[in-house]
Amino acid sequence: MRKQYAFNFGIMPDKIFNDPHVRKVKNSIYRYPLSTMNRSVICKLESRVAFLKSDINNIIAVTLDGKLLLRTSNNKKSETDLSCYLSGSNSLNQNSFVYIPKQGLFIASSMWDSSFHIFQLQGSNFNLINSNHQFSLIVSIVDADETHIVTASKDSSLILWNLSGSISKLYRISPHNDTFIDFDVSNILNLIVSCDKSGSIVLSKLDDGSYVSSFVIEHPIKKLKISNYGSCIIIAYEIEIGTIQIATYNIDLNVVSSFRINSDNIDWCEIGFGYSTSCLAISDSNNKVYILSLPCLDLLTTLTSEE
């Protein structure tokens, strides 16, 4: 593992490999800014949560019945009804929404009318400030930075939008010829990574949409993401029924490491500690959570529903 890490990312001090990191991770968790909300019930919901995001001041959730819920650090609560914008909400998921804390913007995409709606957080309430309609159904939306978002449409096109001032379309690209599966962006790495049903993975420049490189995975892709901390691309694909492989690639598309999980489906999120350390948390269909290091995917710990 040491040689593989050195080959892809350079020589690292022995302390990185020999000293335990558990205590450092725990301390970082306890210093999380929303610690004042720990062990408290935010609210009781009548519908499943489709989106959940937090920052230093707020926790935001969207439920499948179209409710946008806000809980602030000083315990103020608000509820905004989005049902008139999100008809057909059974298709909503984490990729249907974006929250940009510094701008106080919440963006919701709606597949039924091919549009996205922008809400401004004013006090403890969200107010609609703009809507944009497209010709193709929006299937996913990701924030590129504080003033830009990227939308993916059913026709497999990707569009970069500028949200500062009036909404403007900066470019539209169509990097895929097959059904779109997933994409992610990195402003730090200036990359868009997208994949389709055929297993094709395409890298494009974020600033102008130009083609960078591509490769093909001969297995059904479940999802992908970019890690800024690990400077790597993370791809989950099904190698056989009931088995999903997680693989990391460096920006030159060389394989760094892989990890297998016996599950039909997974969900994941990246956990950052400080400015240089990051882990990948993966939940499977067996109610088990794996915490893996990035980019080497070393198993740090596992959690189960009984713990």
The predicted-structure confidence for 112-159, as pLDDT tens digits, reads as follows: 677 888 999 988 889 999 888 776 677 888 999 889 999 998 888 999
Q: Tell me, what's the pLDDT at 301?
A: 92
Question: Residue 215 and residue 253: Cα distance in Å, rounded?
Answer: 8
> Is 173's pLDDT higher than 50?
yes
Beta strands in 92-154 (DSSP E): 97-100, 105-110, 115-122, 125-133, 138-143, 148-153
Q: What CA–CA distance (Å, rounded) separates 149 from 45? A: 29
Q: Is the pTM of this model over 0.85?
A: no
Of residues 144 and 26, more confidently modeled? 144
Q: Would you say residue 34 has pLDDT above 60?
A: no
Long-range contacts of 8-12 (CB under 8 A, 24+ apart): 8/250, 8/254, 8/256, 8/295, 9/231, 9/250, 9/295
State how far the Cα of 39 lies from the Cα of 35, in Å rounded to an integer.
9
Q: How much is the mean pLDDT over the chain?
A: 82
Q: How high is the pLDDT of residue 232?
A: 93
Q: Residue 281's beta-bridge partner residues?
A: 269, 291
Higher pLDDT, 237 or 85: 237
The C-alpha angle 265, 220, 244, rounded to 5 degrees, equals 40
Q: How far is CA 269 from the centre of its chain?
A: 7
Give the rounded percent of residues in the chain with a pLDDT score beyond 90: 46
pLDDT of residue 296: 93
